Amino acid sequence: MNLSTFSASASSTRLAPYLAAAFGVMLATPALANSWEGTVGAGAAYAPDYLGSDDYDVQPLPVLNLTYGDDVSINLRDGIAWHALRQGDWTVSPYIGYTFGRDNEGDISRFEKVDGGATLGLRVSYQQGMWRYSIAGSTAVTGDVEGANFTGEAALRMPMSERALFTLTPSVSYSNEKWTESFFGVSAQDSARSGIAPYSPDGGYWRAGVNASLSYALTREWTATGFVGTTILTGNASDSPIVDELGSDWQGLGGVSLTYRF
């Protein structure tokens, strides 16, 4: 689990019923059911109420990872990806994603809600032994979020035994000015309702972090996973009153999940 994609994890539960319905249709169609592979499951995470918050609570965590041969993959983190080009260890994948918005609560309960929406993006990845390197860029096309976001990461998958798997994922991302404004700007209306000073970012921000997990295969089908992560917000995000006055630029994450492989 990646902290940067979990910042609005409570909102992901709204998407889960649609993904579950699509999953049910696939399994109900024999031709499709025989072609799809993957894992489904659920868990819980102790995470910030929203990106930049210093208030934490336990949140539900749906898990869905599907693949259709070598051509298509679907998961809550990376969206629906078409692996259009494979050349040796390189893969180029256009994808349709979803940017979770912000269900305002706690310190920003008087702020206007930020609705999530679809994104279009492109990911380039390279596999080298146990490491997988990738860079991706996406832009929002629906919802309240505007602008573009770019991410680079290195993912290590290291077997510890026949049943145990350790993963380590350092990552860095950049969000441009419009994207930053969507989550960290304070409009005149938000200021009037909350008493927080107005704030308009004059640029983007960087976010760096690292996540780790340990998975243990209970049976051939069932796997239990524990995960932790931390990330830091910089630049125009950390300067926002949402973070500087009400929250924290350091964000943490921890949780567990149980998944079923089919």
Answer whether residue 5 shows pLDDT above 60.
no
Contact at 8 Å (CB) between 250 and 244?
no
pLDDT for the residue 76: 87
pLDDT for the residue 27: 52
For residues 85 and 219, what is the distance between their CA atoms, to the nearest angstrom? 34
pLDDT-derived band of residue 8, with 50, 70 and 90 as boundaries? Answer: very low
pLDDT-derived band of residue 107, with 50, 70 and 90 as boundaries? Answer: confident
Task: Look at residues 99, 102, 97, 117 and name the one whose alpha carbon lies nearest to residue 10.
Answer: 102
Answer whether residue 36 shows pLDDT above 90.
no
Q: Which long-range contacts (CB under 8 A, 24 or more apart) does 125-129 make?
A: 125/90, 125/91, 125/93, 126/89, 126/90, 126/91, 127/89, 127/91, 128/89
Can you list the positions of beta strands (E) in 112-191? 117-128, 131-140, 148-159, 164-175
What is the per-residue pLDDT across 130-145, written as a single tens digit (0 to 9) for each?
999 999 999 999 999 9
Kindly tell me the sign of the dihedral angle through the C-alpha atoms of 258, 255, 50, 142: negative
pTM: 0.84
Q: Cβ atoms within 10 A of the Cβ of 220, count?
A: 7
For residues 228 and 166, what is the distance between their CA atoms, to the nearest angstrom? 12
What is the per-residue pLDDT across 151-170, written as a single tens digit (0 to 9) for each?
999 999 999 999 999 999 99
Round the CA-based radius of gyration of the chain to a whole number and report it: 19
pLDDT-derived band of residue 23, with 50, 70 and 90 as boundaries? Answer: low
Region 75-85: mean pLDDT is 93
For residues 190 and 110, what is the distance between their CA atoms, to the nearest angstrom? 7
What is the CA 151 to chain-centroid distance, rounded? 11
CATH architecture for segment(s) 3-261: Beta Barrel (2.40)
Region 188-214: mean pLDDT is 95
pLDDT for the residue 216: 98
CA-CA-CA-CA torsion for 226, 230, 236, 239, nearest 10 degrees?
Answer: 120
Six-digit token pair at 91? 């893969």
Contact at 8 Å (CB) between 63 and 5?
no
User: What residue spans define the domains of the chain?
Assistant: 3-261
Answer whether residue 2 shows pLDDT above 90.
no
For residues 175 and 187, what is the distance between their CA atoms, to the nearest angstrom? 19
